[in-house]
Structure 1
Amino acid sequence: MMRAWMLPTLFVLCGSAAAAGRFVSGSPGEAVALLLAFVLLAGVNSPLVFPRSVGAGEAQRRSAEDGRPVVYWRPGCTYCMRLRFRLGRSARELHWVNIWRDPAGAAAVRAANGGDETVPTVVVAGRPHTNPDPAWVRAQLSPPA
């Protein structure tokens, strides 16, 4: 769990140091703007913007029951954030697996991507798709006509 919060914590610490430097040099407005920018970066890179993660085994079990895709992701991944934001509210319908928290999830991603931990990897009906278009993922949530 700590690994997922390392990047956001680093953003807040660096932003605080940079803002303190601006404040001491007599630019409180710049200091506030800089701190807000770094806090925003920390928030976007935190696990809070993603739906609650489950383990790979649980996600696969749920996917087998309801047919919804499984998304393997990790905090700080810009492509994962792009997928999450472009899916909007429908992101909650997917089963999300944080590969930094779940070794089985990381192993599943490596198996699907030739040994690389390339995310997001979306598994639909047992077939992995690496960094798919968000519109395609949303279409996978719709029942077949």
Structure 2
Amino acid sequence: MTRAWILPMLLVLCGSAVATALTLGGRPAEAVVLLLVFVLLAAVNSPLILPRSVGASEAQRRSAVDGRPGCTYCLRLRLRLGRGARQLHWVNIWRDPAGAAAVRAVNDGDETVPTVFVAGRPYVNPDPAWVREQLSSPA
């Protein structure tokens, strides 16, 4: 878990160092803007926004336990789901052969993403509003 926070922390530290140098150089407005950019980059790269990928078998196991949909998403869908993205189980099919096989099995041999599994049924490229609705409905 600590490893996932290394990049965001480095971004904040680097941004702080550069902002401090700019402030001492008499350019506080530029320092604030630059620091905000670094903090935004850190937030986007943090586990809070982009949860860590798990394997397909682990996502299926977790889904069976908590009733939430296990899924493989692309970055666009993750960002459109916002905070709801943290409730899901993510599988990176390019790092998990079992996940890639599961996606190919339901997409005529293609690795089409995002492929979302809800209650064992696959949905290819679903609308984010529909996914949010699935998250809010009782498991």
TM-score by length of 1: 0.59
Between the two proteins, what is the percent identity of the paired residues?
51
RMSD: 4.2
Number of residues paired by the alignment?
134
Query: SS at 2:117's partner residue?
Result: strand
Which consecutive residues of structure 2, in runs of 5 or more, have no partner in the other structure? none
Paired residue for 2:43? 43
Name 1:104's counterpart in structure 2.
Answer: 97
CA contact (8 A) 1:99 1:105 kept: no
Alpha-carbon shift at residue 43 of structure 1 (Å): 1.2
Q: 1:108 to 1:33 in 2, by over 3 A?
A: farther
- Map 1:120-139 → 2, pairs under 5 A: 121-124=115-118, 125-130=120-125, 132-139=126-133
Give the superposition deviation at 1:5.
Answer: 6.8
- Cα 1:66–1:43 change in 2 (3 A) is closer
AA paired with 2:121?
Answer: G
Q: In 2, Cα distance between the equivalents of 1:5 and 1:100?
A: 22
Contiguous gaps of at least 5 residues in structure 1: none
Q: What corresponds to 1:83 in structure 2?
A: 81
Distance 2:14 2:93 in 1: 23
**Rg bigger for which structure?**
2
Which whole-Å CA distance do the structure 2 matches of 1:25 and 1:105 have between them?
Answer: 54
Match in the other structure for 1:70? 70
* Alignment-derived partner of residue 114 in structure 1: 110
In 2 relative to 1, CA 45–105 (structure 1 residues): closer, same or farther, beyond 3 Å? farther
Task: Give the whole-Å Cα distance in 2 for the aligned partners of 1:109 and 1:23.
Answer: 53
How has the CA–CA distance of structure 1 residues 65 and 79 changed in structure 2, closer, same or farther, with 3 Å as cutoff?
Answer: closer
What TM-score comes out, normalization by structure 2 length? Answer: 0.61
Deviation at 1:32, TM superposition (A): 2.8
Deviations 1:14-34 (A, max 9, x none): 856864774575312321331
Contact persistence 2:93–2:100 (CA under 8 A): no
Of 102-111 and 55-64, deviating more is 102-111
